[in-house]
C-alpha cells in the first residue's frame, strides 16, 4: 500500500475517533437529547456557520461519490456515504479518497 493510501486511511480513522470523542462526551453530559444537540450546533453564528459549511460539503461529497461510482463502478466507494452521514465529513472524505485510490485491476 502506498504512503498516500496509508495517509488517507489514517486520516479517516482519526476523522472518526477525534470527533466521536467529543460527541460521546456531550451525550455523556446531556444524555440522548437530539433536540439539544441540534440547538448546540446553532448556539451562535460561528457554530451555525460551521454546521452549514460541513453540511454543504457533506452533500457535495455525497454527490461526487455517487457520480464517480456510477462511472467507475467502484461500488465499495459507496461506503463513504454512510461514513459521512453517520460519522462526519472528517471520516467520509479521507475514506472515499482511500477507497478511490486503490489500484485498478
Q: pLDDT of 6-49, one tens digit each? A: 999 999 999 999 999 999 999 999 999 999 999 999 999 999 99
Does residue 105 lie in a domain region? no
Determine the pLDDT at residue 100.
94
Does residue 89 lie in a domain region? yes
User: Measured on CA atoms in the order 20, 21, 26, 27, is the torsion positive or negative?
Assistant: positive
Look at the chain and report how many structural domains it folds into: 1
Does residue 44 lie in a domain region? yes
**CA-to-CA distance for 78 and 74, rounded, in angstroms?**
8
Determine the pLDDT at residue 43.
93
Determine the pLDDT at residue 24.
94
Residue 104: pLDDT above 80?
no
Structural domain span for residue 66? 3-100
For residue range 50-99, list pLDDT tens digits in order: 999 999 999 999 999 999 999 999 999 999 999 999 999 999 999 999 99
Determine the pLDDT at residue 105.
67
H helix count then E strand count, the chain: 5, 0
Does residue 69 lie in a domain region? yes
Determine the pLDDT at residue 31.
93
pTM for this entry: 0.90
Amino acid at each position: 500500500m502506498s504512503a498516500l493510501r496509508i495517509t488517507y486511511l489514517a486520516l479517516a480513522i482519526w476523522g472518526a475517533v477525534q470527533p466521536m470523542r467529543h460527541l460521546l462526551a456531550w451525550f455523556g453530559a446531556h444524555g440522548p437529547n437530539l433536540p439539544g444537540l441540534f440547538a448546540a450546533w446553532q448556539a451562535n453564528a460561528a457554530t451555525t456557520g460551521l454546521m452549514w459549511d460541513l453540511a454543504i460539503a457533506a452533500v457535495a461529497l455525497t454527490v461526487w461519490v455517487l457520480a464517480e461510482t456510477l462511472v467507475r463502478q467502484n461500488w465499495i466507494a459507496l461506503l463513504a456515504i454512510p461514513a459521512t452521514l453517520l460519522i462526519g465529513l472528517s471520516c467520509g472524505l479521507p475514506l472515499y479518497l482511500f477507497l478511490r485510490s486503490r489500484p485498478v485491476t
